[in-house]
Amino acid sequence: MSSKEKKSVTILTESQLSSRAFKDEAYEFYKELRKSQPLYPLSLGALGKGWLISRYDDAIHLLKNEKLKKNYENVFTAKEKRPVLLKNEESLTKHMLNSDPPDHNRLRTLVQKAFTHRMILQLEDKIQHIADSLLDKVQPNKFMNLVDDYAFPLPIIVISEMLGIPLEDRQKFRVWSQAIIDFSDAPERLQENDHLLGEFVEYLESLVRKKRREPAGDLISALIQAESEGTQLSTEELYSMIMLLIVAGHETTVNLITNLTYALMCHQDQLEKLRQQPDLMNSAIEEALRFHSPVELTTIRWTAEPFILHGQEIKRKDVIIISLASANRDEKIFPNADIFDIERKNNRHIAFGHGNHFCLGAQLARLEAKIAISTLLRRCPNIQLKGEKEQMKWKGNFLMRALEELPLSF
């Protein structure tokens, strides 16, 4: 999107926000928005009118604003039923990311025990073994596509083992996940995504039947036990929670591992600094989360009560979407915001969100990234980008900042 095009745009559409062209120039666009239009109008098709938030302070405020709801049932009356784009999505939407207190607290409590600091640390040796095993496969070739060979399989193996689901199904999860995070309103894409979501629902039904017959010490078995107790979890919530854990359990981490590696390849001085000072790894991960935020845009929030922001009335049923990527490049919060600096101090990024919906798996994602990148740099000391950085392509995707591939030689 050129400067000339930006000036002529008055309303952004979902298809524009999801385009590869937008991803390529999003940071410059966000910079203009933060200066002059921090509340930018969106047209979201069947979902109606929306607003894009680009400033950090606004993001912090709105992520905790009780006038905004994640569950549309807390906004729409029975006569104002929210448009449903996909018939199969209703079976997969009753999870904690789409809920408000007190339901949100109830659902989060059911799974947060699996993501405590102690539980995550117990996974360290397992994650290290997975990282080494994946590199064993590609190291003789002196080449790999980081996304397919390393960044995707590592977190999907981890979350699959935590949940107790077959590893051989992980490629299916990849396809289903893309259908879930694809906000396209193109008719042919809607039809294809609805078909894929139908497959996912059938898979979950079969998986749950098996777990009921043969419960084990995994997270899905624990959730089924909660469902059987009646007041804790409905069947619809059970399917939705499993879906969320599968998708959220790997999508963000794939992008974190890939985006950090890409940033290091593009900033050789920072790569060398990290090699010389491995204790900077935690700081490097936080900077990657800020610089190339894995989740670019939040999922939607519905306005339950009208309010005024920057002189504009936000009406009931308006959609609010927050650009975490833009907030994390806000010059008023982050000095030299467009510079990748692994020694950045006071890095208050909101890549994992803020408030009630702060990412439950943030600690796991950080640990997976730390082990993945440390192992990669230790075992492949001569690693470098294969091709020019200009050739690397961001996926056209509404929610995520994700590279299609990242070819590396070593």
Looking at residue 185, its pLDDT comes to 64
User: What's the rounded Cα separation, in Å, for the pair 228 and 110?
Assistant: 13
CB 73 within 8 A of CB 44: no
The predicted pLDDT at position 183 comes to 67
Q: Where are the domains of the chain?
A: 3-409
What pLDDT was estimated at residue 170? 81
pLDDT of 317 reads 95
Alpha-carbon distance of 275 to 263, in angstroms, equals: 14
Q: What is the pTM of this model?
A: 0.92
CA angle, 308 as apex, 307 and 312 as ends, to 5°? Answer: 130
pLDDT at 231: 62
pLDDT at residue number 228: 62
Q: What is the pLDDT of residue 93?
A: 85
β-strand pairing of 39-43 with 12-13: parallel
List average pLDDT for each run of 10 residues in the chain, which is 410 residues long: 46 89 95 97 90 98 97 89 65 88 91 89 96 97 96 94 89 85 72 88 92 92 78 84 90 96 98 97 98 96 97 96 98 98 97 95 97 97 91 92 96
The CATH number assigned to the domain with range 3-409 reads 1.10.630.10
Q: How far is CA 127 from the centre of its chain?
A: 20
